């Protein structure tokens, strides 16, 4: 087969420690062993969070018009998860009759066995996610039944102390300013500008925007309504 090689590291530090060179060595050794033609190797330093942030990977996919498939050392070099790899295969590779080869997982989707292994990996990964989700929900329900706060990071204006949701001493007064200005009829953009001019920041320390002000006030009003009718 004629193959396109793709190797990747997430940071420049990994690039400096010869990780890319080691990946390239393995691809060349594999192709030599099985008499595959390695058309070109694409090297990239980027996160695997999404393909839009990996221009070199997209170039490698385009180069498949001159090859039979793409080869990489392992799954997480190509995508963030098994599900993402399956999506890549179903949406991009299979329609063009192209193969994906992953050395560490011993996967070659040009064979029925390779596809079976990948599908099983996806099923196991989904099962693990479902189990974790179920455990998290069970723990939250138990904590809530005991009167504790159990549902993620508190919204702006509040904080969780020993499982109890209380007013944040610095944020809550700012939330009240937003609420009062909204009731006075001021727009979200005007309120955001005013907060920034006074030096106030969001929970993450970033400047206020109309969207963030709307979310903060909206979350507060919804929670207040829920407590009132709960």
Give pLDDT tens digits for 44-65. 988 766 666 789 999 999 999 9
Beta sheet of 107-108, edge-to-edge order: 37-45, 2-9, 69-72, 99-102, 107-108
- Give yes or no for residue 223 having a pLDDT over 80: no
170 and 202 Cβ atoms separated by less than 8 Å: no
Q: Which of 22-26, 83-87, 226-230 has the lowest mean pLDDT?
A: 226-230
Would you list the domain boundaries of the chain?
Answer: 2-123, 149-225
The yes-or-no verdict on residue 26 having pLDDT over 90 is: yes
Tell me which architecture the domain covering 2-123 has in CATH: 3-Layer(aba) Sandwich (3.40)
Provide the 3-class DSSP secondary structure of residue 70: strand
Rounded Cα distance, 80 and 3, in Å: 22
Paired tokens of 112:
């029925």
Whole-number average pLDDT of the chain = 82
What's the pTM value of the predicted model, to 2 decimals? 0.54
**How many CB atoms within 10 Å of residue 75?**
20
Q: Residues 6 or more apart from 115 whose CB is under 8 A from it?
A: 109
Mean pLDDT of 114-125: 77
Q: Give the active site residues.
A: 10
Query: What is the structure's pLDDT at 147?
Result: 46
Name residue, tokens 């320390």: 205
The number of beta carbons lying within 10 Å of the beta carbon of residue 142 is 11
Q: H/E element holding 15? A: helix 12-16
pLDDT for position 163: 67
- Please report, for residues 33, 97, 177, 182, 190, the alpha-carbon distance to residue 208 in angstroms, rounded to integers and kept in the order given: 58, 49, 13, 15, 10
At residue 18 the predicted structure's pLDDT band, cuts being 50, 70 and 90, is low
Supply φ then ψ for residue 206, to 5 degrees.
-95, 160
């Amino acid at each position: 087969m004629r193959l396109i090689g793709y190797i990747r590291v997430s940071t420049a530090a990994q690039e400096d420690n010869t990780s890319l060179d080691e990946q390239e060595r393995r691809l060349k050794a594999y192709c030599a062993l099985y008499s595959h033609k390695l058309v070109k190797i694409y090297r990239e330093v980027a996160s695997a969070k999404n393909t839009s942030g990996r221009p070199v990977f997209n170039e490698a996919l385009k180069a498949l018009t001159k090859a039979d498939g793409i080869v990489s050392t392992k799954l997480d070099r190509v995508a963030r998860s098994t599900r993402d790899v399956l999506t890549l295969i179903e949406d991009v590779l299979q329609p063009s009759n192209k193969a994906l080869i992953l050395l560490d997982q011993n996967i070659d989707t040009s064979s029925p066995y390779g596809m079976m292994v990948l599908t099983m990996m996806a099923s196991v990964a989904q099962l693990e996610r479902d189990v974790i989700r179920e455990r998290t929900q069970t723990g939250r329900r138990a904590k809530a039944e005991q009167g504790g706060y159990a549902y993620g990071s508190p919204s702006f204006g509040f904080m969780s102390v020993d499982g109890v949701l209380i007013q944040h001493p610095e944020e809550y007064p700012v939330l009240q300013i937003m609420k009062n200005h909204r009731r006075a009829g001021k727009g979200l953009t005007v309120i955001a500008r005013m907060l920034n001019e006074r030096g106030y920041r969001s929970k993450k320390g970033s400047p206020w925007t109309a969207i963030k002000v709307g979310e903060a006030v909206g979350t507060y009003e919804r929670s207040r309504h829920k407590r009132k009718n709960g």
